Amino acid sequence: MNVFSPSSQPVPLAEIAHLVEGEGYATVHRLDRKRAVTVTADVDRAFANPEEITAAIAPDLKMIAATTPGVRLISRGRQEDLADSFKSLPIGMTAAIGGIYVIIAWLFGSYIQPLAVLLAVPFASVGAIWGHLLMGFDMTILSIIGFVALTGIVVNDSLILMEFYNSKRAEHITMHDALIATGKARLRAVLLTTITTVLGLSPLMMEQSFQARFLIPMAITISFGLIAATVLTLVLLPCILMIGRDVHRVFYKVWTGRSVSGDFVRWDDAVHETEHGAETHALS
């Protein structure tokens, strides 16, 4: 091979350079105009977990980056997908909860009752965690996505109770009696809603094929989370409504300096009830 000298004369390469044979890269890849080397590995899920391996080698990667200033380590592939998913999940969760709140507030004509309904959602995570432990599955990104879907399903049980409760309150029944009547009348409907959903997802959770194992964590989150939320809804939602009434009374007394006797749902009703009681007392 000849190279051209500054005088434009061809010169054999062996006369001006020392040639050494060695191995080199067949191709040179670049990322952001800098040379890049891709390191990949496959994980046998029967013996190891990718997230655990990533966490185990993280200190070594930090040490390499600290001791080699010219080298920059970037996570790609599955780790990049996980990072992107976790960035977008809070936005999706917030949008889902916001949409549910608006719909329930429009349906019930109340700003407080949607909050009582949505308070049952965090307790569903208890069932989801125990479900993964009982079924022997690790929580994955699909488990988190399943929890977002679970948010809308859990609200169904609460809506069944709240609709019947509001109809009882419209009959001028006390809050305590209305909650007792609601629990007795809607118990079967709440249980059927949960049982049909869980039975529909059971074939997926029992599937042993390789393709189905990716979706099983999401099915576990929805099924066991719904079971836990159903039990808590039947007990927790009435308690939240009773606590809300007590808090409402306290705020009204602090604001007006007057006490309210009996049950009330809206602030105007409480004012009317208190003023009516004061007027009756003055006449007597």
pLDDT of residue 77: 67
Q: What region does 136 belong to: left with phi over 0, alpha with psi -120 to 50, or beta?
A: left
pLDDT of residue 82: 67
**Of 143, 144, 147, the residue nearest 123 (C-alpha):** 147
Q: What is the mean pLDDT of residues 21-31?
A: 83
* Contact between 50 and 43 (Cβ < 8 Å): yes
Domain boundaries, the chain: 78-283
Classify 78-283 by CATH class.
mainly alpha
Q: What is the pTM of this model?
A: 0.62
Distance CA 74, CA 71 (A): 10
pLDDT digits (tens, 9 = 90+) for 114-137: 888 887 778 788 888 898 888 888
